[in-house]
């Protein structure tokens, strides 16, 4: 689907479900990561995540578009356009839009890079970031801490 196809489709959805025209631009944005779409308050344009179309198909994307159109039409008419507003929740339910979008993929967890060990009780604390062990003591026995790198080739 091209941006032109998306534009025509959104205009049709707007007329069919909202009874109003969509007079701004809608386009795919590859850089969206954690959301299915985004309504831009200042320009009134809508950005859509193409990964949702690839992973879940047209029905999921239609729900996302209806959600963004709720923001669009309510904002332009001066009503409550935010997620917490009653107007938004009611309109979203009327048109059958998605309240939440499906996840695209799990975020890759950063592995632990450091391990902090208590000299006295040998308790271990895994850490992603380096810390100043002189400022802290063991949470179990108040002993002195030593920091070691789990991957010595990556530094420290």
In this structure, the answer to whether residues 42 and 88 fall within a common structural domain is: yes
**What pLDDT score does 152 carry?**
57
48 by Cβ neighbours in 10 Å (0-12 / 13-18 / 19+) ranks as: buried
| Domain that residue 146 falls in | 114-154
**What pLDDT score does 104 carry?**
80
In this structure, the answer to whether residues 54 and 124 fall within a common structural domain is: no
Q: Which of 67, 95, 123 is the last residue of a domain?
A: 95
pLDDT, average across residues 55-60: 90
pTM of the model: 0.67
Residues 61-107: tens digit of each pLDDT? 999 999 999 999 999 999 999 999 999 999 999 999 989 888 886 65
Per-residue pLDDT for 149 more than 80? yes
Q: Which of 64, 95, 126 is the last residue of a domain?
A: 95
User: What CATH code is carried by the domain that includes residue 50?
Assistant: 3.30.2010.10
Residue 41 located in a structural domain: yes
Q: Is 68 an annotated catalytic residue?
A: yes
In this structure, the answer to whether residues 23 and 88 fall within a common structural domain is: yes
**How many helices (H) and strands (E) would you count in the chain?**
4, 6
In this structure, the answer to whether residues 48 and 86 fall within a common structural domain is: yes
Name the percent of the chain lying above pLDDT 70. 92
Kindly give the pairing relationship between strand 26-28 and strand 46-48. parallel
Domain count, the chain: 2
Name the catalytic one among 11, 47, 62, 68. Answer: 68
In this structure, the answer to whether residues 129 and 83 fall within a common structural domain is: no
**What pLDDT score does 110 carry?**
67
Residues 118-130: tens digit of each pLDDT? 999 999 999 989 9
In this structure, the answer to whether residues 146 and 69 fall within a common structural domain is: no
In this structure, the answer to whether residues 135 and 67 fall within a common structural domain is: no
Lowest mean pLDDT among 38-52, 83-97, 98-112, 135-149: 98-112
* Helix boundaries (H) for 42-117: 50-56, 58-76, 86-95
């Amino acid at each position: 689907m091209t941006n032109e196809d998306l534009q025509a489709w959104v205009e049709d959805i707007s007329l069919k479900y909202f009874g109003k025209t969509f007079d701004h631009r809608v386009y795919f944005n590859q850089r969206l990561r954690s959301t299915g779409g985004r309504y831009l308050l200042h320009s009134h344009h809508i950005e859509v995540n193409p990964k949702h179309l690839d992973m879940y198909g047209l029905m999921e994307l239609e729900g996302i578009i209806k959600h963004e159109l709720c923001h669009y039409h309510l904002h332009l008419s001066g009503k409550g356009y935010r997620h917490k507003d009653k107007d938004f929740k009611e309109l979203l339910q009327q048109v059958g839009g998605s309240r939440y979008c499906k996840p695209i993929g799990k975020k890759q967890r950063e592995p632990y890079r450091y391990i902090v060990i208590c000299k006295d009780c040998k308790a271990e604390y895994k850490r992603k970031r380096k810390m100043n062990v002189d400022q802290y003591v063991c949470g179990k026995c108040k002993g002195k801490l030593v920091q070691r790198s789990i991957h010595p080739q990556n530094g420290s």
